[in-house]
Amino acid sequence: MALDENIREVLDYHRATNHSVESVQVNNQTLDFSNLPRTYKLYRKLQSVPLPEEQLTSTLPALTALSGYSATPPSTSIPDLATLATLLKLSAGITKWLTVPNGKMAFRAASCTGAMYHIELYVVCGELEGLPAGVYQYGVHDNALRRVRSGDFRGALAAPTADNDGMANAPATIVYTSVFWRNAWKYQDRAYRHAFWDSGTILANTLAVAASHSLSASVVTGFIDESVNRVVDVDGAKEAALFLVLLGHEPSTRALMMPAPERARLETLPYSPQEVNYPLICSTHAAASFKDTAEVEIWRASAFTANPFIPGGDVKPLEVATNTSPLQESVDEVILRRGSTRRFQEAPISYGELSTMLATATVGIPGDYVKEAGSSLNDIYLIVNAVEGLLRGTYVYHRSSQALELLREGQFRDEAGHLGLGQALAHDAAVNVYFMSDLEGVTERLGPRGYRAAQLDASATAGRLYLSAYALGLGASGLTFFDDEVTEFFTPHAAGKAVMFLVLLGVPASRKHVDRERNWFTSKTPK
């Protein structure tokens, strides 16, 4: 299939899965709970490698870590088993058990659409302290690793990334995959979007936890899909690799490039009595897949640099506070305390709080799809319902100058509620934050794989925004939306842009008392 045909394929997928009032009304899907998929992977024969139960703690403030903190990045950083265990648990592990009508439900470290938990993590590492070289799957259900392959296969990842800088020198790499059916059971074809939404919120946790333990981390989205799938032994259709995260740096143990091994075809238990195939998911993923290193090299050479907005109206610089804080928690403490806000008070947050969340979350994702730190494939639009020190209305955020431009003044609570599929959460939240991308421009520059990157870029940034809210003692929640109506609402400024993600910020209905006498960005208590 020609490149432009592949671009049309992914853009057609996005349009076909847009929500509208009509599409929601005519969708007569009923959920078959007798066919509800299990939310984790089980191998029939692989033995487990237990991980340390005690998590490493960090004293670095959460907002500092979320900002991608690095005080003189170490020339060498190597995770040991304890660090790796902490990072896996706080990225995708079970952090608590919730009581629900039918019993207990496992609550994960990162939010997921519909709590379907379809993202799997695999570790490909050289010899680490406490862990032999190998390929491992992270078993969420028992917080243990399963050894898929023995030996050092880092070179088998370096080759399909066209020897990406840092890949062969990374002591460990995490491969993020999606088991599409585990989300499609509820969300049908739209589940392909959710593959990147949900892996992106996990990625936000991973990057913050890595930063809090002085471990370098970067994201690789350009690779030969079949080769990476073979390394972690997935078929690329029912379960497929989405992206890689390089952890640490150790040039003295540089892996030698090697071809991808044949699939081991390890037996796993079925997720449901009957899995339903969604061809549109498979064809869209295939259209955005790379088949050779030449495509990977073109991808890397085409890395995106966003053109800065030129403000056309009233602009208000962010006012990031530096001397007060609700909580002086570390990332691990924030992640363990995190939830998904189910009800907001119609109460204001301060402009300092909104400014801090935006500044913290938008430092940029360290991905291979952008050339410069801080660049993004998405623009941020806001409906401001209740922020002290900021007029109610609609805004666009200027990353380069860290300022909000007023687009339209007014009270838009009802409109916010409607755009969020008529849900009270969007109506009651203090701020609705939309991530919007010029998909035609992105795919023209990056090709069809740019669609994956735009979704991931939005969700990982939104994940940081989410954690920043909890670090400030506020609430946050992700929500779906009426796609074209959001674009129309922010037009003319957002004309031609598509919504990638929506996150709500505000005061939760059951807000607890917080201590406001600590500094957000240092570990010191002001006198």
Give the C-alpha separation, 179 to 237, whole Å.
Answer: 9
Q: Distance of CA 470 to CAs 83, 143, 332, 365, 503, Å?
A: 23, 25, 12, 20, 13
pLDDT given for residue 2 in this prediction:
66
DSSP helix/strand/coil, 27: coil
State the pLDDT confidence band at 522, using cuts at 50, 70 and 90. very low
pLDDT given for residue 168 in this prediction:
83
Length of the chain: 527
pLDDT given for residue 515 in this prediction:
36
**H or E segment and range at residue 217:** strand 217-220
pLDDT given for residue 524 in this prediction:
31
Q: What is the mean pLDDT of residues 36-47?
A: 94
**pLDDT tens per residue across span 340-365:** 788 999 999 999 999 999 999 999 99
Q: Does residue 312 carry a pLDDT above 80? A: no
Task: Give percent of the chain above pLDDT 90.
Answer: 77
**pLDDT tens per residue across span 170-212:** 999 999 999 999 999 999 999 999 999 999 999 999 999 999 9
Per-residue HEC secondary structure of 486-500 comes to HHHHHCCCCCCCEEE
Q: What is the dihedral of CA 194, 199, 205, 207, to 10 degrees?
A: -130
Q: What is the mean pLDDT of residues 1-12?
A: 87
State the pLDDT confidence band at 164, using cuts at 50, 70 and 90. confident
Please state, rounded to an integer, the average pLDDT across all residues of the chain: 90
Cβ atoms 326, 515 nearer than 8 A: yes
Q: Does residue 256 carry a pLDDT above 50? A: yes
pLDDT given for residue 75 in this prediction:
66
**pLDDT tens per residue across span 477-503:** 999 999 999 999 999 999 999 999 999
**pLDDT tens per residue across span 127-147:** 999 999 999 999 999 999 999
Q: What is the mean pLDDT of residues 219-233?
A: 97
Domains of the chain, by residue range, sit at 32-301, 315-506
- Tokens at 328, concatenated: 């002086």
State the pLDDT confidence band at 517, using cuts at 50, 70 and 90. very low
- 32-301 with 315-506: one CATH topology? yes
Q: What is the mean pLDDT of residues 296-314?
A: 82
Cβ atoms 60, 211 nearer than 8 A: yes
Give the C-alpha separation, 34 to 151, whole Å.
Answer: 40
Give the C-alpha separation, 246 to 244, whole Å.
Answer: 6
Give the C-alpha separation, 197 to 112, whole Å.
Answer: 8
Fold of the domain spanning 315-506: NADH Oxidase (3.40.109)
Task: Count CB neighbours of 527 within 10 A.
Answer: 4
Stronger pLDDT, 55 or 520, i.e. the higher one:
55
Nearest in space to 401 (alpha carbons), one of 468, 355, 366, 455: 355
CATH code at 32-301:
3.40.109.10
Q: Distance of CA 520 to CAs 69, 360, 379, Å?
A: 13, 11, 26
Q: What is the mean pLDDT of residues 90-103?
A: 85
